[in-house]
């Protein structure tokens, strides 16, 4: 059993109004050292496969087909093994 973490972010060239809003709010809270903010989503997938490669392939395909918009978003996949003892949920 593996856990794949898929981080989906807007492509750098795409305007991120949500990130700008958070940036503005952080400045109001006094965090002037924050120079830029970009938002994205994270999808954690628990995948029951014999190898990490198989889990990564499934996570990549899921990201390409469903989780990330290929026109505007990039994604990054990391896979970590789970010892079977730990319950998934």
Determine which residue in the list 17, 35, 84, 85 makes contact with a copy of itself, applying CB under 8 A. Answer: 35
Spatial contact of 6 and 80, defined as CB atoms under 8 Å apart = no
20 contributes a contact to a copy of itself by CB under 8 A: no
Give yes or no for residue 89 binding a copy of itself (CB under 8 A): yes
C-alpha dist (Å) from residue 1 to 24, 70, 83: 41, 28, 7
Query: Could you say which of 11, 17, 49, 85 contacts a copy of itself (CB under 8 A)?
Result: 49
DSSP 50: S
Closer residue to a copy of itself, CB minimum distance, 36 or 71: 36
């Amino acid at each position: 059993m593996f856990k794949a973490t898929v981080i989906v972010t807007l492509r750098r060239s795409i305007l991120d109004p949500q990130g700008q809003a958070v940036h503005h709010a952080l400045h109001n809270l006094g965090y002037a050292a924050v120079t830029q903010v970009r938002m994205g989503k994270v999808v954690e997938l628990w995948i029951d496969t014999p190898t990490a490669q198989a889990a990564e392939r499934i996570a990549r395909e899921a990201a390409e087909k469903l989780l990330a918009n290929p026109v505007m978003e990039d994604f990054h996949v990391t896979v970590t093994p789970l010892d079977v003892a730990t319950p998934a949920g």
